[in-house]
Amino acid sequence: MAAARRLIAPYSGPFDTTHRFVTSWFLPPAALFAIRTTIALYAFTTFFTIFGWNGAHRMSDASGKTFSYFTHLTNWGIAFYFAFSAMHTLSYWLTGSPFLARWPRALQIAHSMFYSTVVVYAFVVTSK
C-alpha cells in the first residue's frame, strides 16, 4: 500500500544523511554539544540530589516510588536523550560523522523514536 510505504519512508533509505540530529540551523556543533551536555548534567544532578536528599531524611523508599511516576520516568528519558545526543553531537563535531551514523539501523531508528517520545512526553507531563 502506498500509505504503508509513506509511513516507513523516513526510515527507509540512508539514515540522516545531512546529520539533522546533531546539527543546528544557528548553533555551531560545539555550542549544540555544550548545551546538550549541560542539560544532561543538570537532569542527572537533579535526580541524584533528590535521591541523596531523600536518603539523608530517611525517606529512601520515596526514591524507589518515584519510578512509578510518569513525570520521573519522562525525566529519566530526557536525561539519557540529552546525554546520548550530546555524545553524537560531540563525535560529529570532532570527526564530521556522528556515532549515530555508524550504528546499526535498529539503533538509528531507536534514536529517532527516542527523540519523538522526549519532545512529546515532556508536554504530556506538563499538561497533566
Partner 1 sequence: MPKSVLCIPAHRPLLLLLLLCIPHHTTTTLPPPDKGSVNACLLQPTDAIVVVYWAILAPSGFRSTFSLWTNVSHHALNSVFALFEIVCPRTAPLPWLDLIPIVICLALYLALAYVTHATQGFYTYGFLDLQEHSSGIVAAYIIGILVAGIIIFLIVRYVIVLRVWVIETKLGKMGKFSSHAPRRTLHEGEADAELAEKGVRVDDVATK
Binding residues vs partner 1 (CB under 8 A): 6-11, 13-14, 17-29, 32, 35, 39, 42-43, 46, 50, 53, 56-58, 65, 68-75, 78, 81-82, 85, 92-97, 101, 112-113, 115-128
If DSSP codes are grouped into helix, strand and coil, which group holds residue 51? helix
* Residue from 1, 41, 11, 112 nearest 49 by CA: 41
Nearest distance from C-beta of residue 66 to partner 1, angstroms: 10
Maximum alpha-carbon separation in the chain: 59
Q: How far is the CB of 98 from partner 1 (least distance, A)?
A: 9
> What is the smallest separation between the CB atom of 28 and partner 1, expressed in angstroms?
5
| Residue 96 burial by Cβ neighbours in a 10 Å radius (0-12, 13-18, 19+) | exposed
Decide whether 81 or 87 has the Cβ nearer to partner 1.
81
